[in-house]
Chain A
């Protein structure tokens, strides 16, 4: 694999594949600013074949693999010939409609990927029927630069690094700078956080967590209420949740979220042990 030096290099490589495509397939949804950030941090690599192009993003001790291919048959063939798949720990996200008849999951499993977990997307309308909640008496605050390490530590112990795309320190710093992390402290200790991204009329919760020992104190509810109170103009809320995390799903349903039938199959290769 070769390092990617420019955003344009990514789009040019995709175009070369798309030109020859009979049934273009991809799991790559590149956003130029995010690509630039990965390139700046030397995290993005590429392997360009005639019928498929693969992008690799370094994430802790493994790689996230993205593909664009002319069709699923060629994708399978090119993946089987990919040397890095046999020697490096790889994670692949396959985003599809739930129970899609043309799912690529069997193809991935046939070449050695294993289903690690599934995420479901939940959405909530910001309609008049679901008016923003009052933030209540507990008042969460926005995280500051002094909280970067505590936020990182809490995310790392609370979420799955293969499945939930945990942010690097520089991404947490950017989120704090953009006031995207609400938190509550208990005796100067971080006791809960809600990390979100808002773009126009859509807002996405990335992480909502209160450690076990603080869960009777209603900090989770306070964070969620503060989040909705701060997003009164939002028309669409969404998030991704691990499909078998029933306690979390029930809590989100309580706040009006429901599945929109989009599923993220998180696959790992054989280098990642069970």
Chain B
């Protein structure tokens, strides 16, 4: 199973996500990327992230993504 960092690196290898506190505001993920990320997280963790949760706030940094994964049923 891949980590969130590995998945983000696959989507946008050119960016240093560790240096950002807000991936969306910093322009590292756009709306296409978020949909790609949701599909990859769903597949990787065997979950289904809810449509109402596919909003920029939930993808702004590692903490928010991990919180979303927990909410979606991933045990960490």
Contacts and interface: CB of A to CB of B under 8 A. Distances in A.
Contacts of A15: 50-52
Contacts of A202: 27-28, 30
B35 A31 contact: no
B44 interface: no
A71 to B, nearest CB: 14
Interface of A: 8, 11-19, 21, 24, 26, 29-32, 68, 95, 125, 198-203, 235-236, 262
Contacts of A30: 31
Interface of B: 12, 14-15, 22, 24-28, 30-32, 34-35, 39, 48, 50-52, 54-56
Contacts of B24: 199-200
Nearest to A16: B51
A74 B31 CA distance: 24
A236 B52 contact: no
B14 A95 contact: no
B35 A26 contact: yes
Given A200-B25, A201-B15, 17 more contacts: A8-B52, A11-B54, A14-B52, A14-B54, A15-B52, A18-B48, A18-B50, A19-B48, A32-B56, A200-B26, A201-B26, A201-B27, A201-B28, A202-B28, A203-B27, A235-B27, A236-B14
Nearest to B42: A24
Nearest to A7: B55
Contact of B27 (A16, A68, A199): A199
A235 B56 contact: no
Contact of A18 (B31, B51, B55, B56): B51
Contacts of A17: 51
B32 A29 contact: yes
Contacts of B14: 125, 235-236
Contacts of B28: 200-202
